[in-house]
Structure 1
Amino acid sequence: MGFHEVRFPDNISRGARGGPERRTQIVELTSGDEERNASWANSRRRYDVAYGVRRADDLATVVAFFEARNGRLYGFRYKDWADYKSCLPSQNPSATDQGLGTGDATAVTFQLAKTYTSGSQAWTRPVTKPVSGSVRVALDGAEQATGWSIDTATGLVTFDAAPGAGVLVTAGFEFDVPVRFDSDTLDVSLDIERLGSITSIPLVEIRR
């Protein structure tokens, strides 16, 4: 799958709209009751970045970005301003924000992840596109300045030596969403003042 490790312009994504999407099948029975089944185990995010285009220069930037990605062919990074940290939006990431797993004295690789919890229910989202320089890692609550590395293209944390059995591995980070354009066409219009606009620029999360 083609992917360019480049981020969509932040000044345009800041004004975009979108968020998570789920796919649920609902069957209404003759009794009036209903049955609900989840078609997807994980959510998928969709965005429309047309709302972030405010000037003709923004439009030119989007067109250039679209052409460089060959439309839907190549994926890219996208900053979801509503959800881009391992912590709350008002906080700074810390090394103990998210649990990645427990050491067994053998495994050296752990996937970055973010867990969303409400009441007794939780859902864990793999994070594959951390922001370079933002990742912090801890073992049993003690931050580790060295002894590990991060692959920013996959979100895999690799330790030089396997964490001991029962050792809690945690991390904090900022992250991007892997997305692609969801259309091979940009419908550009020019008004009387030559200020460009695009009615819709859909993006969809790439799930692997």
Structure 2
Amino acid sequence: MGFAKPFRIALNIVILSVIAYTVLYFTDSSNMVIILFAITAFFGLGTGGVYYIPWNVYTFLADVDEMVTGKRREGVYAGAMTFCGKLMRSVIVFGMGWVLDAFGFVSGEKVQPASAINALITIFSIGVISLAILGVISAFRMKLDRATHKIILDEIQRIKDGGTMQQVSAKTKEVVEQLTGSKYETCYQTVSASYQSQKH
């Protein structure tokens, strides 16, 4: 199993949980607290996967990057992921604050106007579900799995050992181009030159 399928499963759990939260809000159940805890536990499984799976994937991306650049740049990817994560959270918090303020939310008040409550429900339901669906669609483009990752590692090692471009198999070439988004010949020249310079 690759990384895309577990990520899609986690996102679908998030979607189902948000739908359940929304339905629960509009229903009057005598077991409200129990149901709320059950949904929250289920929601936690989804959000845990959504958060940790990308961090697991990024360590493998460094190998794909090495196929293109001939360099190990795990730190660059870690920094980029941390920065992008913080940037997105900041944008979301700012956006939510702006929307709630526009719909009459009053900070510190125990009772909020119906417009603010409806805006909050809309953001939590439609907003989260829309982003999750976008994530599911994007995950279908993710082709990196353990099998293709091994092909990349084997090809990098072959190049380090002095292998030539003409010796590459059709399958390996296809995987390299699919994962890197670059022509195999370009990747090979960049990596080969990098390794040659490291030897001298």
Q: Normalised by the size of structure 1, how large is the TM-score?
A: 0.23
Larger RCO: 1 or 2 (CA < 8 Å, sep 6+): 2
More strand by share: 1
TM-score, normalized by length of structure 2?
Answer: 0.24
Larger radius of gyration: 2
Higher share in helix: 2
